[in-house]
A and B are shown apart, each in its own frame.
Chain A
Amino acid sequence: MTDATASTPAAPASGRRQSISLFRQDAHTKRRNAAETRFKAYGLTAVLVGLFFLIVLFGSIISNGLPAFTRTVVELELTLTQEQYEEAESKLLKTGAYRDFFIAAFDRELEERGVEVEYDAAALERILGKIGGNLREFYTANEDRLGQPVDFELSTSSRIDGYFNGRLKREDVRDSRFLMSTDLDLADELYAAGIMKSDFNWNFITGADSGVDNPGGAGIGASVVGSFFMMIVVLVLSLPIGVAASIYLEEFAPKNRWTDLIEVNISNLAAVPSIVFGILGLAVFIQFAGLPQSAPLVGGLVLTLMTLPTIIISTRASLKSVPPSIRDAALGVGASKMQAVFHHVLPLAMPGILTGTIIGLAQALGETAPLLLIGMVGFVARGYPDGFVSGFTEANSAMPAQIYTWAARADASFYEKAWGGIIILLLFLMTMNIIAIVLRRRFERRW
């Protein structure tokens, strides 16, 4: 006993434990209990701190990202005749002519709805962006729609969009060539009249990336497809290679200096920074093997290299956890080593292998650094790939790369899109983790 004050007359000199009442805690017990209580308090505090940050994280992701899922648009029905089209195309300022057609239709719409507002063409362009250019782009691509009524949905400029989703406050607006405070009055009136409205931004989920000047049109869809093709490559390559390597190392390879060396190197490989794999991919797959730049195929190959150690380590761990008595039992009835492994050990290790694989895939899905080096960042995907094969070889982006690209752009509206993209990415990751959990439960419940 070191605590002298607590046990003053109690401790006899003989050193024999003195008998005391069980109803009274002795000093030693008190100290032990206090230490235990303290430790529990530390643990609880740690958990609460973690939980707090988790809530802050999700709160800020959701509050910053949700606006990306809504957009403010102006809907207008417009009919352009063949003659009007030819007239506009013959002019020197072609887009100006298209703009005038639009304004004429816009005026008719206002009149029909009985709305009386004062506006000029410049204000409308500040609100809706380059109306004439968009219109011309549509009609030159779809000449067959001439002479028929077409429903146009024009997204508003990022500032007006920000005004309606709360990012931009009226008192912050300083008049400039991008936005005048009077434009907000006009927008309010159009909104009240129902010509301008906010709706769910499907284009953000299904669309492709847009140019830097059109944040309203940017979508993450094309890069989701890019990520999907990359994940196919990763799954198809890393699962069989990883599982085969682990089975060989764990069950068949002799235990000697070479296998020890391989084992150590695999563990080290799992800790190599992912950007190293990126530059390796650039050197080997693109510069040496001549595979196309920015292609999901190359991205998938690089991510395969990165995922393999994770899969090998988790597979070996789950093979190791299968009780040796099962192997003995199989060998005892005359199964060969391979039969013992494939009929008995592997099925039992399956839940662990699947969980490891899905976690490896999820890691690969969120990886950005290696994609930087093989050109999947900063690339503006203009649309979906044409087919299954070109999905692998055509230049595309991937979700985290797309988010990185948006975050680096100047327009505040892209910042919002980056947060929105993160919500989508997290949804994918959560889905994969849930699949991992479900698969594990399912396989485990069999016996």
Chain B
Amino acid sequence: MNMTDMPATAETVTTMTSPKSKITAKNVEVFYGDTHAIKDVDVEIEDRNVTAFIGPSGCGKSTFLRCLNRMNDTIDICRVEGRIEIDGEDIYDKKVDPVQLRAKVGMVFQKPNPFPKSIYDNIAYGPRIHGLARSKRDLDDIVEKSLRRGAIWDEVKDRLQEPGTGLSGGQQQRLCIARAIATEPEVLLMDEPCSALDPIATDQVENLIDELRQDYSVVIVTHSMQQAARVSQKTAFFHLGNLVEYGETDQIFTNPQDPRTESYISGRIG
């Protein structure tokens, strides 16, 4: 477990270079037209760990998340500066094909968005387009494995050919997570994955996230501080486009260094 490796009294680790660092962001600036959405953000995201981005609405945490798999490319007016590296490779390099990047960095969205196809096809789509399965058997295996990892296999195994849109909200979101891991990514980005779910479904998804930590580097944006405290090992607090504080989750919630973090966590702002 990563938690136990860390010194309990760690200072902010913003500048600390961890040997397990998966994603390194340096001097990242994001502009939407004239709006300066992200201001000089440096962050190191560790492998096989859950990192939570918290902060009030409009603070830029979702924007920053979408930089990590270049989903912002689809927005014409969006401009990203600085350097983001995954395993030491600059993802904004001209040679990088964003499509290939997104296969490596999977994403789960705020609103469950299964394709209007069968449950099976929802999972099989990614492996199909990336050529991960050589035969129908392979594909069946991948689908089953992904659905099991998504903690939804038992609920849907008898109705794989039914539309994914017919599932409940929580099931849809777990289906989307299973779909994201079916392409065997290395990093999983989650943009407020539980905001459309009820507490029970949220609990299921959170348990799932905790399990996924074994194999993936998970980055989760959340509005709920309790959720960040429950699922993450590292927490980054964003405010007005700035990364105010980044560190061990325990330390952020019990002993924040920055007065802004403290006000947000104690409920005085945000």
Task: Give chain A's interface residues, CB within 8 Å of chain B.
Answer: 254-255, 323, 325-336, 339, 343-344, 348, 446-447
Contacts and interface: CB of A to CB of B under 8 A. Distances in A.
B99 A334 contact: yes
A334 B74 contact: no
Contacts of B76: 254-255
B109 A328 contact: yes
A335 B99 contact: yes
Nearest to A332: B107
A254 B77 CA distance: 11
Given A255-B76, A329-B176, A333-B180, A344 B115 contact: yes
Given A331-B102, A333-B126, A335-B99, A447 B116 contact: yes
Contacts of A255: 76
B100 interface: yes
Interface residues of B, number: 29
B153 interface: no
Given A323-B113, A333-B126, 13 more contacts: A255-B76, A329-B115, A331-B71, A331-B102, A332-B109, A333-B179, A334-B103, A334-B129, A336-B99, A344-B115, A447-B117, A447-B163, A447-B165
B51 interface: no
B223 interface: no
Contact of B125 (A254, A323, A333, A447): A333
Contacts, number: 67
Contacts of A335: 99, 125-126, 129
Contacts of A332: 69, 71, 102, 106-109, 180
B71 A334 contact: no
B114 A329 contact: yes
B23 to A, nearest CB: 17
B183 interface: yes
A335 B102 CA distance: 8
A447 B76 CA distance: 32
Query: Which of A326, A329, A339, A343 lies at the interface centre, i.e. has the most chain B CB atoms within 10 A of its CB?
Result: A329
B134 interface: no
B136 interface: no
B111 interface: yes
Interface in B144-180: 163, 165, 176, 179-180
A330 B115 contact: yes
A43 B243 CA distance: 58
Contact of A333 (B116, B117, B183): B183
Contacts of A329: 109, 113-115, 176, 179
B137 interface: no
Interface string B164-200: 0100000000001001101100000000000000000
A333 B106 contact: yes
A334 B70 CA distance: 11
B126 A334 contact: yes
Q: Which of A333, A336, A446 has the most CB of B within 10 A?
A: A333
Contacts of B100: 334
B130 interface: yes
Contacts of B129: 333-335, 339, 343
Contacts of A327: 74
A28 B47 CA distance: 67
Given A254-B76, A447-B165, A334 B102 contact: yes
Nearest to B185: A334
Interface in B66-119: 69, 71, 74, 76, 99-100, 102-103, 106-109, 111, 113-117
B262 to A, nearest CB: 35
B78 to A, nearest CB: 13
Nearest to B179: A333
A255 B176 CA distance: 31
Contacts of A339: 129
Contacts of A344: 115
A41 B48 CA distance: 68
Nearest to A343: B125
Contacts of B179: 329, 333
Contacts of B130: 334
A255 B69 CA distance: 23
Nearest to A348: B116
Nearest to B126: A333
A380 to B, nearest CB: 53
A344 B111 CA distance: 17
A327 B129 CA distance: 15
B125 A328 contact: no
A334 B109 CA distance: 14
Contacts of B176: 329
A79 to B, nearest CB: 71
Most buried by A among B102, B111, B114: B102
Given A333-B102, A343-B125, A326 B115 contact: yes
A251 to B, nearest CB: 10
Contacts of A333: 102-103, 106, 125-126, 129, 179-180, 182-183
A333 B182 CA distance: 9
A333 to B, nearest CB: 4
Pick from A254, A323, A325, A331 the residue with the most CB of B within 10 Å.
A331
Nearest to A329: B113
A335 B107 CA distance: 12
Given A254-B76, A343-B125, A447-B163, A328 B113 contact: yes
Nearest to A255: B76
Contacts of A334: 99-100, 102-103, 106, 126, 129-130, 183
Top 6 closest pairs, chain A to chain B, by CB: A334-B103, A325-B113, A333-B126, A332-B107, A447-B116, A334-B102
Contacts of B165: 447
Nearest to A338: B99
A326 B122 CA distance: 12
B221 to A, nearest CB: 14
16 contacts: A323-B113, A326-B115, A326-B116, A328-B71, A330-B115, A331-B74, A332-B108, A333-B103, A333-B126, A334-B106, A335-B99, A335-B126, A335-B129, A336-B99, A446-B116, A447-B116
B148 to A, nearest CB: 18
A263 to B, nearest CB: 15
B117 to A, nearest CB: 8
